[in-house]
Structure 1
Amino acid sequence: MHGMRIRSAIVLGLTAAFALTGCGSDQGAEEAEGPRGPAPKVAALGPFVGECGHVTDNEVRDLGGLGPIVQSYKNAVGCNWQGGGLGNSITFASYRGSPLEREKAWVTTHGRPPEPITVGGRTGFAALDPTGRICDLAVQLDDDFFEWSTSLSSSSDGSPCDRSRALAELTIERLG
């Protein structure tokens, strides 16, 4: 499952980050505990999509229809939120210098035919699983792309592509 692939990468990345921070000195630990300032702008390739595509946990909860968020993973690879009760999950991932065509080929081989879309004037695709429960929605940004993937349980209402699209629209609106 595609969400699992990204989620594994995010969890692995977090584990590596914790392992690295565990063997340094205690210097700077106080700073890490406090609220973080705005992320520095990254001057490379396409526009900077920010941590989690510039979308807040509450927006993911509301637009994604997750209900209470019981777990979230966040790192440089992307972000994943797990909703309580229904088993819904949403994943955001940003791919620097990676062709959208490769991702399109991946969803195609996994039985999710990609439909061309435009979000905020930018092209991409939405790929809905035949079950109608999982939607990967990717948007091209120059040489990069980002993807919102929504996975809904069978007891959830609405289209996962509508939810992914609402989140992608916020990301495009807030591009750095």
Structure 2
Amino acid sequence: MTSARLAVAIAGAAVALASCSGASGDTASDTPATTASEGPGPFFGVCGGLTDDEVLAAFAVPAFAVVTRNSVGCEWETSGPTGPSVSFSWYRGSPIGRERMGSELIGRPAEDIEIDGQPGFEARSENATGQTYLCENGLQYGDDFVHFSVMYADSVPTADPCAVARGLLETVAERAQ
């Protein structure tokens, strides 16, 4: 048999096998996708719908030096990029597991949380005296997630960072549209 005839015979056998597979109901369309999309989450608005005064009250600091708003989130800083800060991010079509894994890889073990029926995580960092100085948490909404990071840097915390982050996240969850 020539190589051309062999190729035709193999192609014909492949087509025949494929049609037999289709007849038994075992087709690729019957197999579930490995990554199913849950669809987009709700609308959160600029800064998750939070006002500067609400963040200021939760963070328990006298004033913000800088407030940054952009297309992916907001950051409230008390004394520039190295001082105490609160940041909010809204990730569209991005897996929360990657954010959680990143926290764990840099030494912030994550714990499961749930707010308003939405699954999420909370991770914290402590200083040498065991005081929490940084806390981040996030909630999953379909294919999206929202995330807060509350950091007191080298300053003495004026409030529990995880209580601040959770309180702000609860407010954002209540306002989700």
User: TM-score over 0.5 for the alignment?
Assistant: yes
Question: Which runs of 5 or more residues in structure 1 are unaligned?
Answer: 1-43
Instruction: Give the match for residue 161 of structure 1.
Output: 162
Instruction: Give the match for residue 152 of structure 1.
Output: 152
Task: Give 1:101-140 correspondences, 5 Å limit.
Answer: 101-131=97-127, 132-140=132-140
| Identical aligned residues as a percent | 37
- Per the alignment, in what secondary structure is the counterpart of residue 105 of structure 1? helix
Q: Does 1:77 align with 2:72?
A: yes
Distance in 1, Cα, partners of 2:68 & 2:61: 15
Distance in 1, Cα, partners of 2:62 & 2:102: 30
Distance in 2, Cα, partners of 1:66 & 1:73: 17
Q: How many residues align?
A: 133
Distance in 2, Cα, partners of 1:106 & 1:53: 22
CA contact (8 A) 1:67 1:84 kept: no
Q: Cα RMSD (Å) of the superposition? A: 1.8
Please report the TM-score for the alignment, with normalisation by the length of structure 1.
0.71
CA offset at residue 84 of structure 1?
Answer: 4.9
Task: Give 1:59-78 correspondences, 5 Å limit.
Answer: 59-78=54-73
- Report Cα offsets for 1:107-133 as digits up to 9, x if no partner: 011110001001122110000013220
Find the structure with the greater CA-based Rg: 2
Please report the TM-score for the alignment, with normalisation by the length of structure 2.
0.71
One-letter code aligned to 1:139 = L
CA offset at residue 167 of structure 1?
Answer: 0.3
CA contact (8 A) 2:109 2:123 kept: yes
Distance in 2, Cα, partners of 1:111 & 1:138: 17
One-letter code aligned to 2:158 = D
CA contact (8 A) 1:133 1:151 kept: yes
